[in-house]
Amino acid sequence: MINEIISNIKNVWGEFGFTPPFPENMKVLLQSRNRIILFFIDPEIGNFPQVIVKLNRPDNEKSWHEDYVMHSQKIREMLDGAMKDTIPRMEAFQLQDSITGVIEKGIPGYPINVITKIKENEYHKFANWLVEFQSYCSVNQLEISPGFIENQLERITSEYHFRNETVIKIREVFYPLIGIQTSIGWLVGDTHPSNILINKGAVGGVVDWEGVSENNLSIYDWYQFIFSVVIENVKATSRSLTHAEMMRMGSDLLFSNPKTKLAKILNRQTDNYLISKGLNPELKFNWFILFLVDYYWIKNKQEFLHDLLPGIL
Amino acid sequence: MNIEDYFNCPNCNSDLNRINNGYQCINCSSDFHHKGGLPNFLPEGINTELSKIPHPEKLYRKAKKIGWETAAIEFTRDYLDSRDYIEYADKQIISEAPGDFQYLLPINKESIVLVIGVSWGNIISALTRNTKFVFALDVNADLLHFSELRLQQERLSNIKLIQGASSSLPVKEMCFDAIILNGSFEQLVYERLNNFSDQLVSDFLTKIFYALKPDGILYIATENRFNFNYFIGKKEAYSNLRFVTILPCKVVTHYFKLRRRINFRCAYFSSRKLKNMLVESGFGNVVFNFPIPSYRNLRYMSEIENRAVYIYLIKLLGSFPKFSRLHSIAGLIFSFFPLSILKFFWPDFCIVAKRP
C-alpha cells in the first residue's frame, strides 16, 4: 500500500508548500497503535517528519477523518500568524474502500517528554499557547448556573447510578462554581503531552485533532493536559494497575497529596492558567471534578466514575 | 482461485491435477488428500509439532461455541500461565496490529499473497482485508484449524489455508506479488532438524525468489542471532538454553549430539548472513527494518540506520511510558556511535527484499 500512500502525498506535496518533486529518498517510520501512522522523513530537510499519514484500520468501522480535518482546518483559518502555523495543514483521503486516511504536514519539534525529564518551562509555554488559542477560539461565555449543576448531577444519577451521599458530595464540590463566568468554544480535545510539539523552547505545534469539538468549556483542554501528564507518570512508575487504580493514583498525585515535584509544578501552572483566564485558582479542584464528570472521555465511564469519584472526594 | 494454479507437487515440482478429495501429481502420481478439510501437501519426515497448542480440541470447540475472540482470552487464561493474560491475548492473538508491516509493502487490492506460518490467524486476517487473495501455509494443523474458524467468523473469504512444509515448498513460479514469513523463517530449520544443511535455506530462498512475480516482495520477520539479550543470558526459545545462539553452530550441534543425543541447530541468523543469503538467491534491494519492541508485538518499525530517523524515533519514544529513562539515555548514547553497531545487536529484523 505504500505506493498508493506516496501517490496521495504527491498530490498535496505542492499545496503543502514543499518544492516539487517529492524526494525519492524519504525514510518511513511506522507507528502501530489504535491507528496506523507513517512518518515520512527526508533527512536532507531535517530530523523531523515532513509529512505524517494517519490511517484507520480496515476492521474499524468508525471513520471520522473528514469531520475532524474539516473542523481543524476551520480553526486554522480562525488563527493568525505564528499561531496558525502551530496547527498542521491536513487533507483527508481514501486509500481503499475500507481505509480512510489523513495526510498531515509535519511540524518541526519533539513531543513534550513527561517520562524522562520534567521541564516546567514547556508546561508554561503550553499554558500560554492554550490561553492564546482560546482567545481566538472561544465563542461565548457561560455562567455556571444552578440548572447547569443540577443537569450534571441528574446525569450522573441516572446514567451512572451514583449513591445519594456521593451525589450530595459532588453537589458540594460544584456549588462554589455557581455564578462564575467561563468561556466556551472550540476544544483541541486531545491535549496529551505527546501531541504537543516543542521546538526551540516554544510550542511549535499541536497535533492530533481527532477529538476536536465545539461548545465545550475551554478549561477542559488544560485539565486534559495535566491529567494526561500525571497518568503517563503513573504508568511509567507503577505497573500492572487497573485503569481505575491508575486514574485514582493520578488524581491523588495531582490534588489530594501534591508532594512530588511534578505535582507541585502542575499545581503552580494550573494556578497561573486559571488566573490568566480570570478564574479563582482556589477552585481548581472543583473544576477538575467538573471536567471528569462532564467531559473526560474514557471507556466504561460509568464504572470509572463510580470507582473514582467517591475516593477522591 | 484454484490451488493447482499456484501450487505444485512438493516431491517433484510437477503440476497437480484435482482428484476426488485432493490433488494428484501428473508426473510422480503422488496423492495429496485433504486432511481435516484442508489441502495437505506435507511430505514424510516433517516435524509438525511446532507451536503445538495445548488441548487444541478444547480451544476449537470453545471457539465454535462462543466465538474465537472470547475463546482465545479464556484459553490464554487457562493454559498459558500468563499473569497478564488479557494483554497477551489482546496483543499476540486478537490484535491485527502485528500485520501492520503491510503498509510499508507495495501490495494492494490486486495483490496475491502467500503467507508461510499462520500463527493465530491475526496476520493473515489483516492481509486478507487489504489484498485480493491470500494463500496461507503452515505445518501445524491446530493453528490452521483455529485460523480457519477465525476467518469464517470474521467473514473473510478471500483466503485458502493449506497444510504444508516450508522445507518442501509446493509453489509454482511467478505466482505471488508478496510472500510473507512472519516468525516462520526459523520453522524451516526446525522442520528438518534431523537433516538440516545451509543448502536447505539457499534452496528455500531460491524457490521463494522464483515463486514471486517480477517486482514481487519477500518479507521476513525473524530474530537476530546476535540479539543483545542473548549476550545477557536470555534463553533460546526452542532449546531453553542460554548462549546457544552466540556460540559457533558446530560447537552447539556437537554439544547437543554428545550430551543430549538430539539434533539441534540454532535457527537464527545474523544480519550479514541473511543479507548474503538473500543476495545469493537473486534478491536485489534488501532493506532491513527494525521493529520496536518486537515483530510479534509491533509498535514501531523503521530503518534505524538513518540518523535522522533514529533520533526522531528516540524522541518519539520519550513520551511512551514503557520507554524508561535508562532506555532513553542508552538510545541517545548509541546515536553517537555508528548505527551499524545497533543493527548488529538489534533483537529482531523485518527484512523487505525485492525480486528484480
Same domain, residue pair B311 and B218: no
Which pLDDT belongs to residue A254? Answer: 79
Chain A residues with CB under 8 Å of B101 CB are 30
Last residue of a domain, one of A78, A105, A132: A105
Per-residue pLDDT tens over the stretch B277-291: 999 999 988 999 999
Same domain, residue pair A169 and A283: yes
- Per the CB < 8 A criterion, the answer to whether B43 and B164 are in contact is no
Same domain, residue pair A246 and A161: yes
To the nearest whole Å, the CA of B123 is away from the closest chain A CA by 13
Say if strands B133-138 and B112-116 run parallel, antiparallel, or are unpaired. parallel
Last residue of a domain, one of A105, A136, A168: A105
Name the residue in chain B with its Cα closest to that of A196. B319
Across A99-114, b (16+ Cβ under 10 Å) vs e yields bbbbbbbbbbbbbbbb
Q: How many domains does chain B have?
A: 2
Same domain, residue pair B218 and B293: no
To the nearest whole Å, the CA of A28 is away from the closest chain B CA by 6
Same domain, residue pair B107 and B193: yes
Which pLDDT belongs to residue A292? Answer: 86
Query: Does the beta-carbon distance from A96 to B130 stay under 8 Å?
Result: yes
| Chain A residues 253-312 with CB within 8 Å of chain B | none
What is the value of pTM for the model shown? 0.88
Q: Which of A41, A112, A115 sits opposite B308 (nearest CB)?
A: A41
Query: Does the beta-carbon distance from A29 to B311 stay under 8 Å?
Result: no
pLDDT at B33 over 60: yes
ipTM associated with this complex: 0.89
Query: Does the beta-carbon distance from B103 to A232 stay under 8 Å?
Result: no
Q: Which of B105, B312, B319 sits opposite A112 (nearest CB)?
A: B319
> Is residue B237 domain-resident?
no
Per-residue pLDDT tens over the stretch A42-56: 888 878 899 999 998
Same domain, residue pair A135 and A251: yes
Query: Does the beta-carbon distance from A33 to B299 stay under 8 Å?
Result: yes
- Report the distance separating Cα A29 and Cα B316, nearest Å: 11
Mean per-residue pLDDT of chain B: 85
Last residue of a domain, one of B185, B206, B223: B223
| Chain B residues 24-63 with CB within 8 Å of chain A | none
Same domain, residue pair B8 and B81: yes
Per-residue pLDDT tens over the stretch A103-123: 999 998 888 877 767 788 899
Q: Which of B97, B104, B109 sits opposite A96 (nearest CB)?
A: B109
Give the 3-state DSSP-derived string for chain B, with helices as H, strands as E and coil as C: CCHHHHECCCCCCCCEEEECCEEEECCCCCEEECECCECECCCCCCCCCCCCCCCHHHHHHHHHHHCHHHHHHHHHHHHCCCCCHHHHHHHHHHCCHHHHHHHHCCCCCCCEEEEECCCCCHHHHHHHHHCCEEEEEECCHHHHHHHHHHHHHCCCCCEEEEECCHHHCCECCCCEEEEEEECCCCHHHHHCHHHCCHHHHHHHHHHHHHHEEEEEEEEEEEEECCCHHHHCCCECCCCCCECCCCCCHHHHHHHHHHHHCCCCCCCCECHHHHHHHHHHCCCEEEEEEEEEEECCEEEEEECCCCHHHHHHHHHHHCCCCCCCHHHHHHHHHHCCCCHHHHHHHCCEEEEEEECC
Which residues face B350 on adjacent strands?
B221, B289
Nearest CA-CA partner of B106 in A7, A74, A11: A7
User: What is the domain extent for residue A90?
Assistant: 2-105
- In tens digits, what is the pLDDT along chain A, a chain of 313 residues? 899 999 999 999 998 888 888 888 889 999 998 889 999 998 888 788 999 999 988 766 556 677 889 999 999 999 988 899 999 999 998 887 778 889 999 998 888 877 767 788 899 999 999 999 999 988 889 999 999 999 888 887 887 777 788 888 888 889 999 999 999 999 998 899 989 999 988 999 999 898 898 888 999 999 999 988 888 888 877 766 777 777 777 777 777 777 788 888 899 999 999 999 999 999 988 898 889 888 877 666 666 666 667 666 6
> Is residue B279 domain-resident?
no
Query: Does the beta-carbon distance from B302 to A27 stay under 8 Å?
Result: yes
Chain A residues with CB under 8 Å of B311 CB are 47
Which pLDDT belongs to residue B184? Answer: 84
CATH number at residue A280: 3.90.1200
Q: Which of A28, A48, A113 sits opposite B319 (nearest CB)?
A: A113
Same domain, residue pair B203 and B325: no
Query: Does the beta-carbon distance from A1 to B309 stay under 8 Å?
Result: no
User: What is the domain extent for residue B315?
Assistant: 286-354
> Is residue B267 domain-resident?
no
